[in-house]
A = this chain, B = another copy of it.
Amino acid sequence: MSTTAHTPRRRRLRVRSRGRPPVDADSDVRSALLDAASKLFLKHGFERVTARQIAVAAETTPAMIHYYFGNKLGLFRAMLERAIGPVRELIAGSLSQAGAVIDPAMLIRMHMRTAAANPWIATLIVNEVLAEKGRFRATFIRDVAGRQAPLVMELLQRARGAGSLRQDLDVRLAALSLMSLCIFPFLARAVAGPVLGLTYDDEEIERLITHTARLFVAGAASAASPEHHA
């Protein structure tokens, strides 16, 4: 007894009969797949998430991925476009729009606040850009970093021309340092947290941002010995 007696454990939440279901405004399989794909792909990476996991999370079947997106990679790309769009507009707009008045410290604050508010950006970069076979590397280089980098370098060059940065500063190396300071703390969160005793709570993030902006500006500005500015 008690072999199959109680709770036969139906796994499927929404038991649906075969064939086209009746109209239901709350049932949007395509969006459910995109939502599930966002949650799983962005956290664990393309390779580490199976089509079945996404289907289960979206309360449907793997065949629906094929039906709506062709295959797993098509779903990944559609999901990415939806996720990246707002961020791309944000960085492109804020830089080109108020281009003249922005300074390096403000740029650092913007970048770090964006990275802190969207943790999936860091995991996406680790899994799909920095990893050798990352599915997002080419697009990222072309559409994100490829557009961002020239603006950052131009900003630094202008700041150097205005005298707020050291004259012998290499803007390419400085841009790399700036990005390192802004991005790495969020990539390395899982290590830096326990090892340095960081909590990554809001208050600490703000202190980190202030610290970073000051470090970069001071480090890129000061000459070996402070020059006598007339």
Contact = CB atoms under 8 A, between A and B. Distances in A.
B130 A187 contact: yes
Interface string A121-158: 00100110111110001001100011001000100000
A45 interface: yes
Interface residues of A, number: 57
A84 interface: no
B129 A131 contact: no
Interface centre among A194, A198, A211, A212 (most CB of B within 10 A): A211
Contact of A173 (B123, B133, B180, B211): B211
Interface in A174-198: 174-177, 179-181, 183-185, 187-188, 190-192, 194-198
Nearest to A146: B195
A86 interface: no
Number of identical protomers: 2
A145 to B, nearest CB: 5
A191 B180 CA distance: 12
A172 interface: yes
A70 interface: no
A208 interface: yes
A194 B131 contact: no
Given A170-B207, A216-B219, A179 B188 contact: yes
A48 B133 CA distance: 9
25 contacts: A43-B132, A48-B132, A48-B133, A126-B126, A127-B131, A130-B130, A132-B190, A141-B195, A145-B195, A173-B211, A173-B212, A176-B188, A176-B192, A176-B208, A179-B184, A179-B188, A180-B180, A180-B181, A180-B185, A180-B188, A184-B184, A214-B219, A216-B219, A218-B220, A222-B226
